[in-house]
Amino acid sequence: MAKVAFLGLGVMGYPMAGHLKAAGHEVTVYNRTAAKAEAWVAEHGGAMATTPCEAAKGAEFVMACVGNDDDLRMVCTSEDGAFHGMSDGAVFVDHTTVSAKVTNELYEAGKEAGIALVDAPISGGQAGAENGVLSIMCGGDQAAYDAAEPAMQVYSKICRRIGESGAGQLTKMCNQIAIAGLVQGLSEALHFAEKAGLDGRSVVEVISQGAAGSWQMVNRFETMLDDHFDHGFAVDWMRKDLGICLDTANETGASLPVTALVDQFYKDVQKLGGGRWDTSALFKRLRAQD
């Protein structure tokens, strides 16, 4: 078992750190709001630290799941950042969805300090984190990935190295691009069913068993029809992720017309006051137009 630090105890990080502790790892946690770290220690045991640097001291692996590029830079390279507490040969595993640009920036900074960085964004939502069945897409050096993979396996159903530094983040962009189109398509299908006088649940019971089936359909159609969106992956975070996708597409020359359109639909949801609603709230946007 390894000595691990976990930075960031949000809806994803809190249960992920719990799985590490349950698997027998020695876990020290850090969270910007100390009360969340205190609650985690009360529930799971382990230890808490007041800074990322303190949490990282002596750790073989430092996992992070924070908010955005700036948050990640802060927990890595600020005066009290984890990089200043990590030992030579330690591995920093970043589960945050950020730009490939900041990933490569921190990969190089870590390399100079003798620290390996694996970008390892996650998919599967809060339920996937709580049940330990996340999908993890990774980039970075093979040796660093091989060292960290056993720890990541305790909260994943699949964990794969896609390529060099940044490849994990680029793969997560593919994931979010695909989800955006799927959720909009599902929303339009349910909206059409309602307008046509059909029972949405009966419709999904049939079409989910054919080529139209998806994770989004199986896991979200009932809450969508029930007008329940106070759960899951927030629209604000999805817009952050899609912004990264669109910026990267501009840099690479990729064409993402559907993604750009759905991003604007999520902007409409934010205007409805739904920034913290689940991404399936695209359906609520269509209902609001009635």
Contacts of 206 (CB under 8 A, 6+ apart): none
Residue 68 DSSP label: S
Specify whether the CB–CB gap between 106 and 72 falls below 8 A: yes
Catalytic residue among 36, 172, 195, 240: 172
User: Strand, helix or coil at 128?
Assistant: helix
Q: What amino acid occupies position 290? A: D
Bridge pairing between strands 47-48 and 26-30: parallel
User: Strand, helix or coil at 98?
Assistant: coil
Residues 93, 91: Cα–Cα separation, whole Å = 6
Q: Compute the CA torsion angle 250, 252, 253, 258 (nearest 10 deg).
A: -60
Q: Compute the CA torsion angle 123, 96, 86, 74 (nearest 10 deg).
A: -170
Residues 195, 189: Cα–Cα separation, whole Å = 10
Respond yes or no: is residue 3 known to be catalytic: no
Specify whether the CB–CB gap between 136 and 169 falls below 8 A: no
C-beta neighbour count of 62 within 10 angstroms:
30
Residues 177, 172: Cα–Cα separation, whole Å = 9
User: Strand, helix or coil at 158?
Assistant: strand
Catalytic residues: 172
